[in-house]
Amino acid sequence: MIDDQFVPAAFTGEDLACHRGGRLVFAGLDFEVSPGNALVLRGANGSGKTTLLRLMASLARPATGTLFWGGAVVDDPEAHARRLRFVGHLDAIKLAQTVAENLVFWRALWCGPANEKIVGEAMGALGMAHLADFPVRHLSAGQRHRLALARVIAAPAPLWLLDEPGNALDEKSLAALSQMITVHRARGGMVIFASHGAAFVNDSETLDLGQFAATHVSHWSDDL
Amino acid sequence: MIDDQFVPAAFTGEDLACHRGGRLVFAGLDFEVSPGNALVLRGANGSGKTTLLRLMASLARPATGTLFWGGAVVDDPEAHARRLRFVGHLDAIKLAQTVAENLVFWRALWCGPANEKIVGEAMGALGMAHLADFPVRHLSAGQRHRLALARVIAAPAPLWLLDEPGNALDEKSLAALSQMITVHRARGGMVIFASHGAAFVNDSETLDLGQFAATHVSHWSDDL
Amino acid sequence: MEGFLEYLDMGGYAVWVWPAYGLVTTGLVGILAMTLRTLKARQKEFDELKSLRRNPSADGSP
Amino acid sequence: MNAFVILAGRDLRLALRQSGDSLIVVAFFAIATVLFPFGVGPEAAVLARIAVGVVWVTALLAALLSLDRIFAMDFEDGTLDQLVLSGHPLPLVVLAKVAAHWLTTGVPLILLSPILAVTMRLPAAGYGTLILALVLGTPTVSLIGAVGAALVLGTRRGGVLLSLLVLPLYVPVLIFGTAAVEAAIIGRPTEPMLMVLGGLALLALTLSPWAAGAALRQAVE
Amino acid sequence: MNAFVILAGRDLRLALRQSGDSLIVVAFFAIATVLFPFGVGPEAAVLARIAVGVVWVTALLAALLSLDRIFAMDFEDGTLDQLVLSGHPLPLVVLAKVAAHWLTTGVPLILLSPILAVTMRLPAAGYGTLILALVLGTPTVSLIGAVGAALVLGTRRGGVLLSLLVLPLYVPVLIFGTAAVEAAIIGRPTEPMLMVLGGLALLALTLSPWAAGAALRQAVE
Amino acid sequence: MHKFANPTLFMRIANAIFPWAAGLSIVLFTIGVPIALVTSPPDYQQGDTVRILYLHVPSAWSCMMVYGVIASGSAAFLIWRHPMANLVARASAPMGAVFTALALMTGMLWGEPMWGAFWVWDARLTSTLILFFIYLGYLALADAFEDPERGDKAAALLAVVGSVNLPIIHFSVEWWNTLHQPSIISTSGTSVSGAMLAPMLLMVGAFTSYYVAVLILGLRSELLNAKIRNARTSHAAAGQAAE
Ligand code: HEM
Ligand SMILES: Nc1ncnc2c1ncn2[C@@H]1O[C@H](COP(=O)(O)OP(=O)(O)OP(=O)(O)O)[C@@H](O)[C@H]1O
Ligand SMILES: Nc1ncnc2c1ncn2[C@@H]1O[C@H](COP(=O)(O)OP(=O)(O)OP(=O)(O)O)[C@@H](O)[C@H]1O
Ligand SMILES: [Mg+2]
Ligand SMILES: [Mg+2]
């Protein structure tokens, strides 16, 4: 039912600030992504990339500031959730299921009837087609992460929020990731992702979270 | 008591093969590391890097083949364990403890009496000194991984086995990792680590696990 | 016939005696059948593997 | 509705295949009940006297055991984040998970209870009512437990808190559940108690999905 | 020896601070025992008759609840790998963890048991022996449980299996534990039963660290 | 192939025994069942229910004997790493569980007419019930791992731990039972009269030889399974080496 709701629109945030554990992680942060664009979040460990992504997914609420979708305030978390796919540090994978079962479940839950073909394509796009009937418990670290990424293809949505998507991936998988982002953007999709490593995406904007750090403790100045 | 047992010696393996879940992951694998050297394990996701590291740590037993330490067969897992530090995909960190408590515990368990100074140095080397009294629960992904790495410095041992040590690290932390490996090698220490990314270690040998793959199912040929 | 019926009645204890014999028969025959079935399946799989082995492609194996 | 089936279906399949949450409950229930005679002695009269109580109490404890994990596993592996992002109303998600929990723990408990009642020498007149009372009572147990389980997510003392929160709420179910069976044994009408059990179930059904849903949303924040 | 203190010390601190494993056990024990009067009715005579049994059975179940996690958490977060690599003999590691488990679950149980015995109307003559029997019996419970917990690591059905494996092995402890208290109540000598309990504890102490250590090593492989 | 030299010898002996065991079992059943069911007289006290005894005692005997086999096989596997010992244990377990279930069920079917209750907390009944739980635990554990080798080792450890415990459990339960003696009827006093002895011994022999015969079938099957696994992996390795 949601399958055809692939309606991208500009996604922006104004004056965002966020607390974690009683500490202000960042403040005064603005961002903007238009259909077809990509935004890379950069910043040292602990600078708040994960926090910001969860906030964009409406999993967390900002201390101050507002999110907008196509100019309208994002105020219904359920409606907002339907527009996005989030891949976090945690894989949300059940070890006892096979690769295909995991994908079919999320596809069905997010986009109504499970479509065999698209699930197969998603596995193919990340080089997992031959692992379809493998129990996830038997997968290596990188294979598990690829499964989490395949989910995003199996259940299309205009906005992708990916937390360090390149982690644990080998070269070919990185290329596949880059490719799937390109295809998504060509359709008008948007991607926001956190990354430390080399840029595997062309033509993206960068948001450095170091700039918005609310507390100015440098992790390094005093130690190295 | 073990603190001063920092006695490096050549670490080699001959004709190693390993099963996982009834499948042969690799076979006929030889390797050699001499004091002061580094060996990088490379290979696609699922090629057996993690498996090989666990085998080198004597956490797993090879299907065939033998490990040697200074020419002698490694047959006492407990004695072998005292020569090495292993950092795996899993952090072995208790979320309820603070950073310093975590380090002090492992230092005490592995090397006898906990030494405040060396623990402080270990945190400093990875830029975590200011986080000493932070509960681990409040750390970001990269900070947790750094804590796991700091453990290796807090409790010295001649052989380091690191599974994708660069994962989730920001640039400065990568530099710190590279620096800690250099220092370790200068003392005669040995490092074996798995990595997909850019080489952050100079002058290392590489072992490509793709060569020893026992099953020739290419993950890619039929899918991409 | 009378005698047979009386025999079947087991002195009034038919409800207990016959189910006991029935259960034991089921148990013993069941486990024999299961063993034979897996044995046959595995034999078949093994024979298939063996014929695969005779293929020239695997000739290089020791 | 569709999401309900998908979610409950997955939890059912997982329970059957993986964690054995349902089996643990049944095994626990069976073995716990079998342990009592060792504790109180084998005299039939004593056992019969306490049979209903033991079966009900162990059933509650067994359910509590598995409730602990109803959301916790999803919380720890990130699945809960994704469920919150599924775009479906959270009370529906809760209801689906509770349904799966009841099917995998409540139902096996109900099926096993007559056998255990035999070993505990429950008088024959009590069996029908025991089953009926369990059918009406166990959904309430799962529903109330889900609220507790959602509330304690991410707290450091999840398990304790859960038992502290939830067990007192189970007292009414326990009282009317045992009273119904005892009434049946001495031949008095059981309808009043069964009606109360049904009422409790309805109340729990209307309130607890909302409460649990709210608790889940704040757990992921 | 040093490693023993370090390991047990950490587990103790973690238990007190974090998971509330010890508190859940105590809470479970308390609530379960309190539920029984609701289940079997408040007659003092019946309660007194079953008091010992109920206290012992719930104590066993409560211990089982926390045993589930004694190695599982370490297994899941990679700590077990590091413990195996600590260079210390695994039986020592097991012993340290069991000691911590007993201190955080067995001891609170023992301390709580007289209070619960009051609510269950245990005759006064039984208190001293109840505590003594628990002191001798609960270490055996932790030791045997550790073997089971190590065996089920990495299985798909950890919890169920654990109860299935371990509860039958608890029967002797239960029998002699309750028998001792009952002997005390009717004024007969309790020493023989207590001696048996002590003997069981010694046997468990000598055998189970080795069995659990072997199980742990093959769990990380 | 040296790995299977030992199993080969083992299986040669087993295969030699098989026809004898199978034949003996068939003969004993064909003689024993008619005697048990038809020609033997009803007991003067228990009437025709005594015929259940001719099933009950052999089942009870077999379930204990089979546990003994499992425990020794597992110990041999753990100590000498003898693979066949493990296979013997693994193949015996399902049969042992079935024998235990049969002993319990026939015992219950006997108990109802004799004592008026399906279940009493008699010492022997209770120990048998616990033995049944231990069998279930063994089977469940052996099956619970993705990696078959881990299942073998864990189950073997459990069987050994169980064999240390079973005598203790049995002793405790017996003692517990005498403690509560006045209230229940004990089976241990039941005397076996001469007329009952013959069919009972015949049936015990029949059950035992049946077990041996089916065990050998099970061993063949387990061995094939091990060979298939081995062939799979070494085949893959050979394929790799050839390239
Ligand atoms: C669930 C119920 C029962 C179980 C689990 C059970 C279990 C056993 C066991 C383990 C044995 C030992 C076999 C041996 O020593 O080789 C046995 C033997 C025997 N049982 Fe049962 N039993 C049950 C019910 C009964 C009942 C109801 C009776 C009769 C009143 C009975 C009469 C006997 C007799 C006569 C023997 C063999 C003679 C002897 O060794 O004393 N059993 N049973
Ligand atoms: N527990 C397990 N049971 C069965 N098979 C496993 C298990 N763990 C890993 N495998 C299999 O063993 C192979 C090697 O896995 P391993 O984790 O060593 O790969 P890796 O090289 O470390 O990959 P990555 O780069 O993704 O971390 C994989 O193909 C995987 O499917
Ligand atoms: N659950 C939490 N409770 C309290 N503070 C937290 C929590 N999670 C994270 N923090 C704090 O919030 C800050 C931002 O964390 P976040 O995880 O967003 O960083 P990140 O930029 O994603 O880092 P990394 O690159 O290591 O993943 C960190 O300094 C961390 O200490
Ligand atoms: Mg992060
Ligand atoms: Mg790996």
Q: What is the pLDDT of residues F204-230, one digit of tens each?
A: 999 999 999 999 999 999 888 888 877
Report, as an integer, the average pLDDT of E170-180.
91
Q: Read off the amino acid at residue F142.
A: A
Report, as an integer, the average pLDDT of F39-53.
75
pLDDT band at E15 (very low <50, low <70, confident <90, very high): confident
Report, as an integer, the average pLDDT of B84-101.
89
Smallest Cβ distance to D118: which of F119, F129, F179?
Answer: F119
CA C49–ligand 3 middle distance (angstroms): 54
Q: Are E169 and F161 in contact (CB < 8 Å)?
A: yes
Report, as an integer, the average pLDDT of A192-203.
83
Residue F211 confidence (pLDDT): 95
Q: Do chains C and A touch (3 or more CB pairs under 8 A)?
A: no
Q: Ligand 2 pocket by C-beta < 6 Å: which residues?
A: A 137-143, 168, 170; B 20-21, 25, 43, 45-51; F 146
Q: Are F48 and C17 in contact (CB < 8 Å)?
A: yes
B60 touching chain E per CB within 8 A:
yes
Which helix (H) or strand (E) covers residue A160, if one does?
Answer: strand A159-163
Chain E: closest CA distance from residue F160 (Å) = 9
Please tell me which residue, D91 or E33, carries the higher pLDDT value: D91
Residue D161 confidence (pLDDT): 67
CA D15 – CA D105 distance, rounded (Å) = 10
pLDDT band at D157 (very low <50, low <70, confident <90, very high): low
Residue D156 confidence (pLDDT): 59
Best-predicted range by mean pLDDT (B191-200, C8-17, E1-10, F93-102): F93-102
Q: What percent of chain F has pLDDT over 90?
A: 36
What residue owns the CA closest to ligand 2's atom 16?
A: B48
Kindly list the partner chains of chain B, i.e. chains with 3 or more CB atom pairs below 8 Å.
Answer: A, E, F
Q: Read off the amino acid at residue A224.
A: L
Averaged confidence pLDDT in chain F: 81
ipTM above 0.85, yes or no: no
Report, as an integer, the average pLDDT of B40-53.
92
Phi-psi region of B164 (alpha: psi -120 to 50; beta: other; left: phi over 0): left
Helix, strand, coil content of chain A in percent (nearest 5): 35, 25, 40
Residue C53 confidence (pLDDT): 66
Which residues from A are below 8 Å from D2, CB to CB?
112
pLDDT band at F238 (very low <50, low <70, confident <90, very high): very low
Which residues from A are below 8 Å from F148, CB to CB?
none
What does the pLDDT look like over B109-118, one tens digit per residue? Answer: 888 777 788 8
* pLDDT greater than 70 at residue E19: no
The tokens for A190 are 């948007």
Q: Ligand 3 pocket by C-beta < 6 Å: which residues?
A: A 20-21, 25, 43, 45-51; B 137-143, 168, 170
CA F25 – CA C42 distance, rounded (Å) = 25
Residue D108 confidence (pLDDT): 85
* pLDDT greater than 50 at residue A3: no
* pLDDT greater than 90 at residue C28: yes
Kindly list the partner chains of chain A, i.e. chains with 3 or more CB atom pairs below 8 Å.
Answer: B, D, F
Q: What is the DSSP string of chain E?
A: -HHHHHHHHHHHHHHHHTT-HHHHHHHHHHHHHHHHHHHH-S-HHHHHHHHHHHHHHHHHHHHHHHHTTTTHHHHHTTHHHHHHTTSS-HHHHHHHHHHHHIIIIIHHHHHHHHHHHHHTT--GGGHHHHHHHHHHHHHHHHHHHHHHHHHTTT-TTHHHHHHHHHGGGGHHHHHHHHHHHHHHHTT---HHHHHHHHHHHHHHHHHHHHHHHHHHHHHH-
Which residues from E are below 8 Å from F172, CB to CB?
171-172, 175-176
What residue owns the CA closest to ligand 1's atom 42?
A: F107
CA A93–ligand 4 middle distance (angstroms): 18
Measured from the CB, is residue F186 less than 6 Å from ligand 1? no
Please tell me which residue, A223 or B222, carries the higher pLDDT value: A223
* pLDDT greater than 70 at residue A135: yes
* Among the ranges given (B120-124, C52-56, E195-199, E207-211), the one the predictor scored with the smallest mean pLDDT: C52-56
Buried b (16+ CB within 10 A) or exposed e, E66-76: bbbbbbbbbbe
Report, as an integer, the average pLDDT of C23-30.
93
pLDDT band at F2 (very low <50, low <70, confident <90, very high): very low
Q: Which ligand is nearest to the CA of A217?
A: 3
Residues D210, D211, D212, D214: what is their CA dihedral angle, to the nearest 10 degrees?
80
Phi, psi dihedrals of residue A159, rounded to the nearest 5°: -115, 125
Report the nearest atom of ligand 3 relative to the CA of A44: 25
CA A27–ligand 3 middle distance (angstroms): 14
Binding-face residues of F in 9-28 toward E, CB within 8 A: none
CA D137 – CA D27 distance, rounded (Å) = 20
CA E58 – CA E51 distance, rounded (Å) = 11
Residue F240 confidence (pLDDT): 40
* pLDDT greater than 60 at residue F108: yes
Report, as an integer, the average pLDDT of D71-82.
87
* pLDDT greater than 80 at residue E90: yes
Binding-face residues of D in 13-72 toward E, CB within 8 A: 17-21, 23-28, 31-32, 35-36, 38-41, 46, 49-50, 52-54, 56-57, 60-61, 64-65
* Among the ranges given (A186-195, E175-184, F33-42, F228-237), the one the predictor scored with the smallest mean pLDDT: F228-237
Nearest CA in chain D to E154: D19
CA A52 – CA A47 distance, rounded (Å) = 10
Report the nearest atom of ligand 3 relative to the CA of A53: 18
Verdict on whether the full-model pTM lies above 0.90:
no
- Residues F86 and F152 sit within 8 Å (Cβ to Cβ): yes
CA B107 – CA B151 distance, rounded (Å) = 7
B7 touching chain E per CB within 8 A:
no
Nearest CA in chain B to A143: B45
Measured from the CB, is residue F125 less than 6 Å from ligand 1? yes
CA D76–ligand 5 middle distance (angstroms): 21
pLDDT band at B74 (very low <50, low <70, confident <90, very high): very high
Smallest Cβ distance to D14: which of A96, A109, A110?
Answer: A96
Residues 6+ apart with CB under 8 A from D195: none
Please tell me which residue, A37 or F189, carries the higher pLDDT value: A37
Which helix (H) or strand (E) covers residue B85, if one does?
Answer: strand B84-87
What does the pLDDT look like over F90-104, one tens digit per residue? Answer: 999 999 999 999 999
Q: Are D44 and F133 in contact (CB < 8 Å)?
A: no
Residue B222 confidence (pLDDT): 31
Residue E147 confidence (pLDDT): 95
Which residues from C are below 8 Å from F235, CB to CB?
49, 52-53, 58, 61
Report, as an integer, the average pLDDT of C26-43.
93
Averaged confidence pLDDT in chain D: 84
Please tell me which residue, E138 or F184, carries the higher pLDDT value: E138
CA E76 – CA E85 distance, rounded (Å) = 16
Residue E131 confidence (pLDDT): 93
Residue B13 confidence (pLDDT): 94
Best-predicted range by mean pLDDT (B201-205, E204-208, F107-111): E204-208
Q: Do chains E and F touch (3 or more CB pairs under 8 A)?
A: yes
Nearest CA in chain E to D20: E157
What residue owns the CA closest to ligand 2's atom 1?
A: A138
Residue B216 confidence (pLDDT): 40
The tokens for B69 are 């330490």
* pLDDT greater than 60 at residue D158: no
CA F128–ligand 1 middle distance (angstroms): 9
* pLDDT greater than 70 at residue C23: yes
CA E58 – CA E26 distance, rounded (Å) = 10
Residues 6+ apart with CB under 8 A from F45: none
Helix runs in D102-157, H state only: 107-119, 127-151
What does the pLDDT look like over A143-172, one tens digit per residue? Answer: 999 999 999 999 999 999 999 998 889 889
Q: Are A169 and B196 in contact (CB < 8 Å)?
A: yes
What does the pLDDT look like over F128-182, one tens digit per residue? Answer: 888 998 998 898 888 888 777 788 889 999 999 999 888 888 888 888 877 655 4
Phi, psi dihedrals of residue A165, rounded to the nearest 5°: -65, -20
- Tokens 């049904």 identify what position? D198
